[in-house]
Amino acid sequence: MHAITASGLSRRFGDLEAVAGIDLAIERGEIYGLLGPNGAGKSTTVRMLCTLLGPTGGRAVVAGHDVADEPDAVRLRIGAALQEAALDPKQTGTQLLRLQGRLYGLSNAEVDQRVSELTAMIDLGEAIDRPIDTYSGGMKRRLDLAAALVHNPEVLFLDEPTTGLDPVSRNRVWDEVRMLNETLGMTILLTTQYLEEADSLAHRVGIIDGGKLVAEGTPTELKRQVGDDLIVARIDGDPAAAAAVVGALDGARVVDTSDGALMVAAPDGAATVGPVAVALAEAGIPLRDLTLRTPTLDDVFLEVTGNRLRSDARPTSTDQIDEVSR
């Protein structure tokens, strides 16, 4: 049973096609991560699924109802925390949650119960009765999440829920997302530009670029698409010359030469890393460091789009743990 389906979902703004025919089939109880850089079409997709923006093509069904034909039925069943925390800074946290409860038709007793439960969940302490404009960014995000949950939605949309948060606040949000999914079976669609977030949270990941879904699968499946181990050689020389030297080795395939580093894919990384070091040394190309690692979602993104998702992408702690365990 699907919680969200979309077929050919599109949105055009004048000449710009922000979303160019996306197909989705997200199971109930699944956490689905939409991963892509800024401007890829993630937020536009979420705004269409949340009924905030009408599609200009295709259709989408959320919680059993068409977003264009039955938006009211969809709104009763979804919650959303958008990219910028959508809060009224002059209200207190409690006032905001109470108002949300009333707007979703909850009785006073139900509002009291939900405010109590959600206040405990987001753990803002006495700050919950302070004006929201006194909150930190992390507190606003958590309150925004609580506001999205007042009515126990079947489907939750989180648009870049941790952008701009410090690591501690980010981990808290991740824990809350996992808890909502594992304990309540809530279907969650989250967008992110953080590889680690998609890798850590999502059961399945859809990679979006230029308004199109270019790859989809579990993080493991996607990384398996890249297949090979990756050797990253940081050099102090001409990357093109280094690529020619290394590319001539058996079983080595140079896949990227950006940022003063040579990225080499190899079916057996452990067996290839030595010959790469020797070849570079014999060619007189100074080697600063050499790393062997498993593929990341950034590598998947590079494989399917030809571009890096983030220019400063580095092996994550998860990847390094994977490497140690091999």
Identify which of 167, 209, 166, 173 has the alpha carbon closest to the alpha carbon of residue 303.
Answer: 209
What track of x and - describes contact with another protein for positions 213 through 252 (by CB under 8 A)? ----------------------------------------
Residue closer to another protein by CB (options 95, 318) is: 95
Minimum separation from the CB atom of position 54 to another protein (A): 7
CA distance 43 to 89: 23
- State which residue, 55 or 239, has the beta carbon closest to another protein: 55
- Is residue 268 at the binding interface for another protein, with CB under 8 A as the rule? no
What Cα–Cα distance (Å) separates residue 109 from each residue in 56, 101, 116?
41, 10, 11
CA distance 78 to 152: 8
By the rule CB under 8 A, 88 interacts with another protein: yes
Cα–Cα distance measured from residue 224 to residue 218, given in angstroms and rounded to the nearest whole number: 10
Residue 50 in contact with another protein, rule: CB under 8 A:
yes
- Assess contact for 141 and 173: CB atoms under 8 A: yes
Task: Report the first-to-last Cα separation within the chain, whole angstroms.
Answer: 37
Q: What does the DSSP assignment read for 41-61?
A: SHHHHHHHHTTSS--SEEEEE
Residue from 7, 134, 179, 268 binding another protein (CB under 8 A): 179
Shortest separation between residue 67's beta carbon and another protein, angstroms: 12
313 binds another protein (CB under 8 A): no
Answer yes or no whether residue 193 interacts with another protein by CB under 8 A.
no
Nearest distance in Å: CB 323, another protein: 24
Q: Find tokens 């001539």 and name the residue.
A: 248
* Residue 72 binds another protein, judged by CB under 8 A: yes
99 contributes a contact to another protein by CB under 8 A: yes
Rounded CA gap, 290 and 172, in Å?
Answer: 34
Q: Rounded to an integer, what is the distance from CA 266 to the centroid of its chain?
A: 28
Which one among 7, 171, 225, 307 touches another protein, defined by CB under 8 A?
A: 171
Which region among 174-182, 227-235, 263-271, 276-284 touches another protein (by CB under 8 A)?
174-182
175 is written with which tokens? Answer: 């824990």
Report how far apart, in Å, the C-alpha atoms of 145 and of each of 32, 124, 299 are: 17, 12, 31
* Phi, psi angle pair for 315, to nearest 5°: -55, 130
Among 20, 22, 147, 273, binds another protein (CB under 8 A): 147
CB of 79 to another protein, least distance (A): 8
Interface positions with another protein (CB under 8 A):
47-48, 50-54, 72, 75-80, 82, 84-91, 95, 99-100, 102-106, 110, 113-114, 117-118, 120-121, 123, 146-147, 149, 151-153, 168, 171-172, 175-176, 179-180, 183-184
